[in-house]
């Protein structure tokens, strides 16, 4: 049964909380939950925030009572870059866009993407050199970007990779500013971080508008991919109510960014964890060698790559690429005995709940065996929610699971990767959780 606690607070500790949060949001939220229980209300800056940390309350926030909440501050502020795409829009606009994009993510449809995923992973593994050192995060970013480009937009994003990566990093660096008092005001000033963000937006716009323009000019607009669906819907609804060019740009950019950076982070953390856990790495290799028997993976191998999937699941438990979800209450609500007033913020954190010893014993230990069907069934559903839940649940979840397993299987079939340093890998918890610095790993052929 969920328990709840409310911490008394005042403006002074609101400022102190803000400073601690900005320094290390993961440690701050963990301490709040462990010290105060399943619901804790605190002040941050001038705002009241409630952290819910029990699977029942998380389900209530994301699923059962979702109508009483809208997206929180960070995603609202992300509109500066993403506009009104699927991730940031609300209400009718969101429903309409979600209905429109959904067919591109249906199970039957994404199976067609498996071949492209493996082909690109094969290119990557052919380019790797025995004994060389690579930035594994950079490698995974380029690979997942190529895949999202090919499968959903039928474009090659190979040459745009570093430009997109740099623009995304600039955007992530804005995260610290979003929480400052008067940040709305700061964001309107021509200060260097804002100038960098505007530049990043221009660079991304140029890429996305080019993709749209080239497709429109091509002989075959309808190629059965997401871009065709969006373009055709725009044309059909050219009655003033349809998508504007800007909305189309917002959808495309959202999917390109949300559809590759998260999976790249999940894979990067997985490589790090495999390097640190040789026994699990060996079991993974044994499964891949047995199931694939030296051939490239195909869709039909997926059901037998169970341990590979367990490794990916456990990696997203310890290092969830989306580490927190924020909502703003648009009506009064209660979690247990704690009242949440309209307009206040409610947050839940995958980082905190995924490391809660009530659901995961020895939570800091990497143990893929936690993901056997029996062990999974013994835990409450919302003790693990890397893809969120309810109507705003990740549209790309099935895509990401398939991609994660196929990429790991293809790459680990031929390669091992070892961290070049034993020093702990520093985390950057901005909008997503990524390694702060390049993830340098030495490759060894298998």
Please, which residues have CB within 8 angstroms of residue 194's CB and are 6 or more apart in sequence? 186, 187, 188
Tell me if residue 344 falls in helix, strand or coil: coil
Query: Applying CB under 6 A, which part among 1-9, 185-193, 240-248, 396-404 lies near ligand HEM?
Result: 396-404
Q: Does residue 431 belong to the site contacting ligand HEM (CB under 6 A)?
A: no
Q: Does residue 271 belong to the site contacting ligand HEM (CB under 6 A)?
A: no
Binding mask 24-63 for ligand HEM (x = CB under 6 A): ----------------------------------------
Q: Does residue 394 belong to the site contacting ligand HEM (CB under 6 A)?
A: yes
Q: 95 vs 444, which CB is nearer to ligand HEM? A: 95
Q: From the CB of 295, what's the least distance to ligand HEM, in Å?
A: 25
Figure out which of the listed residues 354, 370, 392, 416 binds ligand HEM, where binding follows CB under 6 A. Answer: 392
C-alpha of 244 from chain center: 27
Q: With b meaning 16 or more CB within 10 Å and e meaning fewer, what string describes 114-146?
A: bebbbebbbebbeebeeeeebebbbbbbbbbbb
Tell me if residue 1 falls in helix, strand or coil: coil
Tell me if residue 358 falls in helix, strand or coil: coil
Total residues in contact with ligand HEM, by rule CB under 6 A: 25
Q: Does residue 254 belong to the site contacting ligand HEM (CB under 6 A)?
A: yes
Figure out which of the listed residues 167, 263, 270, 413 binds ligand HEM, where binding follows CB under 6 A. Answer: 263
Query: Applying CB under 6 A, which part among 128-136, 159-167, 189-197, 390-398 lies near ligand HEM?
Result: 390-398
Q: Does residue 140 belong to the site contacting ligand HEM (CB under 6 A)?
A: no
Figure out which of the listed residues 197, 230, 255, 338 binds ligand HEM, where binding follows CB under 6 A. Answer: 255
Q: Would the CA dihedral through 21, 318, 419, 166 be positive or negative?
A: negative
What sections of 259-396 are H helices per DSSP? 261-276, 278-292, 306-318, 350-354, 373-377
Interface with ligand HEM in residues 80-109 (CB under 6 A): 86-87, 98
Distance in angstroms (rounded) separating the CA atoms of residues 422 and 301: 34
Q: Does residue 69 belong to the site contacting ligand HEM (CB under 6 A)?
A: no
Please, which residues have CB within 8 angstroms of residue 39's CB and are 6 or more apart in sequence? 2, 4, 5, 6, 50, 51, 52, 53, 54, 57, 335, 336, 338
Nearest to 99 by CA among 224, 251, 220, 211: 251
Q: 387 vs 443, which CB is nearer to ligand HEM? A: 387
Q: Give the residue at shortest CB distance from ligand HEM.
A: 396
Q: Does residue 400 belong to the site contacting ligand HEM (CB under 6 A)?
A: yes
Q: 53 vs 263, which CB is nearer to ligand HEM? A: 263
Q: 321 vs 336, which CB is nearer to ligand HEM? A: 321
Distance in angstroms (rounded) separating the CA atoms of residues 315 and 400: 13
Tell me if residue 314 falls in helix, strand or coil: helix
Tell me if residue 150 falls in helix, strand or coil: helix
Q: From the CB of 419, what's the least distance to ligand HEM, in Å?
A: 21
Q: 37 vs 351, which CB is nearer to ligand HEM? A: 351
Query: Applying CB under 6 A, which part among 53-61, 156-164, 393-401, 436-444 lies near ligand HEM?
Result: 393-401
Q: Token pair for residue 267? A: 């894979």
Distance in angstroms (rounded) separating the CA atoms of residues 177 and 165: 20
CB 409 within 8 A of CB 308: yes
Distance in angstroms (rounded) separating the CA atoms of residues 349 and 319: 12
Tell me if residue 155 falls in helix, strand or coil: coil
Q: 225 vs 281, which CB is nearer to ligand HEM? A: 225
List contacts with ligand HEM (CB under 6 A).
Answer: 71, 75, 86-87, 98, 148, 254-255, 258-259, 262-263, 266, 321-322, 325, 386-388, 392, 394-396, 399-400
């Amino acid at each position: 049964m969920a328990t709840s606690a409310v911490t008394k607070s005042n403006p002074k500790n609101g400022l102190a909380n803000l400073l601690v949060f900005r320094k290390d949001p993961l440690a701050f939220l963990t301490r709040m939950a462990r010290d105060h229980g399943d619901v804790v209300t605190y002040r941050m800056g001038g705002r009241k925030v409630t952290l819910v940390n029990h699977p029942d309350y998380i389900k209530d926030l994301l699923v059962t009572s979702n109508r009483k909440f809208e997206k929180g501050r960070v995603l609202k502020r992300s509109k500066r870059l993403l506009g009104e795409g699927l991730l940031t829009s609300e209400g009718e606009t969101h429903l309409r866009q979600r209905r429109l994009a959904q067919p591109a993510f249906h199970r039957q449809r994404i199976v067609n993407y498996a071949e492209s995923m493996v082909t690109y992973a094969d290119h990557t593994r052919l380019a790797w050199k025995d004994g060389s050192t690579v930035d594994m995060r950079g490698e995974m970013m380029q690979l997942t970007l190529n895949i999202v480009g090919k499968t959903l937009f039928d474009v090659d994003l190979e040459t745009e990779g570093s430009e997109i990566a740099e623009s995304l990093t600039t955007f992530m660096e804005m995260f610290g500013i979003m929480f400052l008092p008067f940040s709305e005001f700061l964001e309107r000033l021509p200060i260097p971080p804002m100038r960098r963000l505007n530049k990043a937006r221009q660079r991304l716009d140029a890429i996305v508008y080019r993709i749209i323009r080239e497709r429109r000019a091509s002989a075959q607009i309808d190629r059965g991919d997401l871009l065709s669906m969006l373009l055709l819907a725009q044309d059909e609804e050219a009655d003033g109510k349809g998508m504007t060019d800007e909305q189309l740009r917002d959808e495309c950019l959202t999917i390109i960014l949300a559809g590759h950076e998260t999976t790249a982070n999940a894979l990067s953390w997985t490589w790090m964890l495999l390097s640190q856990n040789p026994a699990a790495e060996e079991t993974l290799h044994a499964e891949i060698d047995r199931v694939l028997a030296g051939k490239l993976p195909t869709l039909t191998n997926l059901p037998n790559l169970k341990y590979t999937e367990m490794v990916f699941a456990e990696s997203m438990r310890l290092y969830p690429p989306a580490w927190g979800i924020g909502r703003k209450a648009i009506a009064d609500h209660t979690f247990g005995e704690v009242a949440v007033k309209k307009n206040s913020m409610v947050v839940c954190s995958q980082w905190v709940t995924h490391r809660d010893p009530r659901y995961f014993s020895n939570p800091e230990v990497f143990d893929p065996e936690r993901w056997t069907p029996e062990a999974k069934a013994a835990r409450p559903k919302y003790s693990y929610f890397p893809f969120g839940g309810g109507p705003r649940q990740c549209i790309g979840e099935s895509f990401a699971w398939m991609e994660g397993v196929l990429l790991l299987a293809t790459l680990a079939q031929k390669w091992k990767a070892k961290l070049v340093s034993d020093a702990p890998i520093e985390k950057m918890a901005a909008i997503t959780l990524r390694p702060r610095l390049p993830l340098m790993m030495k490759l060894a052929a298998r």
